[in-house]
Amino acid sequence: MDTSDIPVLIAGGGPAGLTLAITLGQLGVECEVVDARPAPSRVPRAERCGSRAMEIFRQLGISGRLRAAGLPGEASLDVVTCAGSLARQLERHRYPSVSDMLATMLDVNDGTMPLEPPAIISQYTLEPILREVAEATAGVTVRFGAELIDYAAAGGGVTAMVHTSSRLRTIRADYLVGCDGADSTVRRVLGIEVRGEIRPPERQALIYCPDLYERLPGGRAIEYHIVGEHPCTLIVQDDTQHFALHAPMSGPPLATVFEAVAGAVAQPLGYKVVHEGEWPQHLLLADRYGNDGRVFLAGDAAHPASTPGGLGLSTAVADAADLAWKLAAIIGGWGGPALLSSYEAERRPVAAQAITASLASLARAADPPEPSAAGLTEVEFGYRYTGSPVISASRGTPPAGFQPTTWPGARLPHIWLDDGNPLHDLLGGGYTLLRMPGAAADRDSPWFVRELAAAFGRVGARLDLLEVTSAAAQAVYAGHRLILVRPDLHVAWRSGDSQPDPLDLAALVTGHSLDELRKLTAAYGGSRQPGHVAGQQRVADERHRVDERVRDDHRGRPPPAQEQHREDDPHHRITREAAEPLVEVVGAAQRGADRDRVPRAHAEFSQPGQQVPGDEDLFEQPVLQGG
Ligand SMILES: Cc1cc2nc3c(=O)[nH]c(=O)nc-3n(C[C@H](O)[C@H](O)[C@H](O)COP(=O)(O)OP(=O)(O)OC[C@H]3O[C@@H](n4cnc5c(N)ncnc54)[C@H](O)[C@@H]3O)c2cc1C
């Protein structure tokens, strides 16, 4: 029996597992994905990747590639109700195409828009691309045909048994993440229950019919709900040559249903049934998202969601994005324990909200029919991590529903900067402190910023300072002159609500108690191990490589910075060239190995309440400029 060691073992190579692997790899953390299937399968599941998931994929440098593989932006997303066959259309519900949405998104700059429209991409198209990107990411190993059969958490890690066709492997991992879908083995071994709604199963088929889309009468659509003798739903897939057919369990064979529905508009009807099966419909939520800080659940393993048009895939991708940087922080040595416990506190309520919204959407879908995920955008963007232990809480009640807000816990609203670049593209990787004009003039602000930078340096976490001069941003971020943004672009703290001690704030948002932080600082004599971080240089190389291969664009109007690698971005150069004094402080986090060798002179700056020398120089120079 083979034995191997890996920092993170991921069970399941679906959207959650592969997104987690790519993100971990880009953050320099080695991981292995094992999936029981021999290869990603061609089964119709999700055909829409929501806007928030696409924003996450954009951060990973792959949104352009995914969009290019999906349904062209100008294709109709209308939903049609028909009587008996596609020939008799009763009603058409008009919805904007992706291109229409993009045009609006480029024009509106009030924080209400996502940075990415949804992509209409079949899950069976998405998964092989994610697999390819994961396999090309340094530090990531992907093995299909490898099933996790059991594991035990003990001795500060996990020992897992993985079965392949030829052998049984033992994998020792520091962390195990169950991204193994609705019937999760990881969840079963933990003994975690799921609760919610189970609906009668349906039959489904994937049908190849290359001529049908061209012959659809009365303008095309993406979904056809057929009422009458053969009630069913026909959904156009991303290449417009395949169709998903959903029908109740009882009735004639699906091929007969398809012929009755499509034969009326396309004769002769050449088609092939590529896949036929049943799928249980359920919307369930796990009681817990893991156990003892070593084993976690993400995606359908945590919230089995198998209704069409729901948010299962988007929620799975966002789970992965939330967990990845926290695991990387712990493994990299700068994250505190509360970061890992915050995963369930942040993500479980979001899944509960998505399930409620999906149920409501299913109820509405009958009359009038809605396209997949219509009306769910609010849920996709409206959530806030308000109960999180690593978010600095605000007084009062957060605004209800989806409104652009910097309320701590919210995703930072997207803003186009004056030069046409999105502010989001300047963020991520580490924490960023946004500073609005006027902040430097505040009596305490320069001291606070300097102390906060020193405190982050003391934790070993990266903090960049970004000067935001854009009028649009100021309007949306109204009145809050300092906003602390996390690596996943959620707001961790903003000024105006509270002015915590800088060290307290740095400790809180990085998941440490003050006591732990003191111990951490005391350990800087050289005894700390750097963990499994594979090296920042490799991370930069990898980002560069992925960006080169899968250059992101918005088709039609690529803002200049999207065509550049972040390292080549003039904004980024400003950081490096003009802000050496601060980079000396915050850049220490990027030099993890140095941290353990070199005594950290700046750590002495950061005694609470102590003034740091040289503030004036620091604040004359913006660190990054987001005007
Ligand atoms: C018909 C249908 C339509 C849907 N439509 C939408 C939609 O429009 N929008 C939307 O957002 N969502 C939709 N969903 C839901 C979406 O498909 C899921 O939420 C999404 O696939 C979840 O991704 P995941 O990675 O968590 O899990 P999965 O995609 O289920 O991946 C789990 C992986 O784990 C592997 N695995 C399982 N057990 C093991 C093991 N023991 N060891 C190793 N590997 C294992 C499996 O082989 C699989 O590859 C739909 C689902 C269905 C069924």
Q: What is the predicted pLDDT for the residue at 377?
A: 65
74-121 pLDDT, tens digit each = 999 999 999 999 999 999 999 999 999 999 999 999 999 999 999 999
Taking residues 514-537, report their average pLDDT.
47
CA–centroid distance, 587 to ligand 1, in Å, is: 39
3-state secondary structure of 110: coil
Spatial contact of 571 and 424, defined as CB atoms under 8 Å apart: no
Best of 23, 121, 123 to mutate for ligand 1, by most ligand atoms within 8 A of CB? Answer: 123
pTM: 0.85
Residue 233 has pLDDT above 60, yes or no: yes
Is the alpha carbon torsion for 392, 423, 20, 301 positive or negative? Answer: positive
Spatial contact of 185 and 148, defined as CB atoms under 8 Å apart: yes
Q: What is the predicted pLDDT for the residue at 143?
A: 97
User: In the structure, what pLDDT confidence band is assigned to residue 321 with cuts at 50, 70 and 90?
Assistant: very high
Distance CA 371, CA 559 (A): 30
Taking residues 577-585, report their average pLDDT.
27
Identify the residue whose C-alpha is closest to ligand 1 atom 30: 181
3-state secondary structure of 594: helix
β-pairing verdict for 2-11 and 168-178: parallel
Instruction: For ligand 1, say whether the CB of 306 is within 6 Å of any of its atoms.
Output: yes
Residue 585 has pLDDT above 70, yes or no: no
CA–centroid distance, 426 to ligand 1, in Å, is: 32
**Window from 251-265, 311-325, 374-388, 419-433 with minimum mean pLDDT:** 374-388
CB atoms inside a 10 Å sphere around CB 462: 21
Instruction: For ligand 1, say whether the CB of 181 is within 6 Å of any of its atoms.
Output: yes
Report the nearest atom of ligand 1 relative to the CA of 244: 1
277-307 pLDDT, tens digit each = 998 888 999 999 999 789 999 999 999 987 7
CA–centroid distance, 181 to ligand 1, in Å, is: 5
CA–centroid distance, 123 to ligand 1, in Å, is: 9
Spatial contact of 493 and 478, defined as CB atoms under 8 Å apart: no
Q: Quote the mean pLDDT of the chain.
A: 81
User: In the structure, what pLDDT confidence band is assigned to residue 352 with cuts at 50, 70 and 90?
Assistant: very high
**DSSP letter for each residue of 364-384:** HHTSS---TTTT-HHHHHH-B
Q: What is the predicted pLDDT for the residue at 406?
A: 93
Residue 506 has pLDDT above 50, yes or no: yes
User: In the structure, what pLDDT confidence band is assigned to residue 67 with cuts at 50, 70 and 90?
Assistant: very high
Distance CA 404, CA 413 (A): 5
CA–centroid distance, 36 to ligand 1, in Å, is: 13
Q: What is the predicted pLDDT for the residue at 532?
A: 25
Domains of the chain: 2-72+117-195+283-382 (3.50.50.60), 423-625 (3.40.30.120)
CB atoms inside a 10 Å sphere around CB 471: 12
Taking residues 429-437, report their average pLDDT.
92
Residue 273 has pLDDT above 70, yes or no: yes
CA–centroid distance, 527 to ligand 1, in Å, is: 43
Q: Which two tokens stand for residue 82?
A: 């028909």
Is the alpha carbon torsion for 575, 579, 585, 591 positive or negative? Answer: positive
Instruction: For ligand 1, say whether the CB of 413 is within 6 Å of any of its atoms.
Output: no
Identify the residue whose C-alpha is closest to ligand 1 atom 20: 313
CA–centroid distance, 65 to ligand 1, in Å, is: 21
Q: What is the predicted pLDDT for the residue at 516?
A: 74
Residue 600 has pLDDT above 70, yes or no: no
448-466 pLDDT, tens digit each = 999 999 999 999 999 999 9
Exposed e or buried b per residue across 521-534, where buried means at least 16 C-beta atoms within 10 angstroms of its C-beta: beebeeeeebbbbb
Q: What is the predicted pLDDT for the residue at 199?
A: 85
Best of 48, 306, 323, 372 to mutate for ligand 1, by most ligand atoms within 8 A of CB? Answer: 306
User: In the structure, what pLDDT confidence band is assigned to residue 365 with cuts at 50, 70 and 90?
Assistant: low
Instruction: For ligand 1, say whether the CB of 371 is within 6 Å of any of its atoms.
Output: no
Instruction: For ligand 1, say whether the CB of 17 is within 6 Å of any of its atoms.
Output: yes
Identify the residue whose C-alpha is closest to ligand 1 atom 19: 312
Residue 131 has pLDDT above 80, yes or no: yes
DSSP E strands: which ranges in 481-524? 482-485, 491-494
Instruction: For ligand 1, say whether the CB of 311 is within 6 Å of any of its atoms.
Output: yes
Element (H, E) at 297: strand 295-297
Report the nearest atom of ligand 1 relative to the CA of 304: 19
Identify the residue whose C-alpha is closest to ligand 1 atom 29: 14
Distance CA 276, CA 43 (A): 8
16-51 pLDDT, tens digit each = 999 999 999 999 999 999 999 998 888 999 999 999
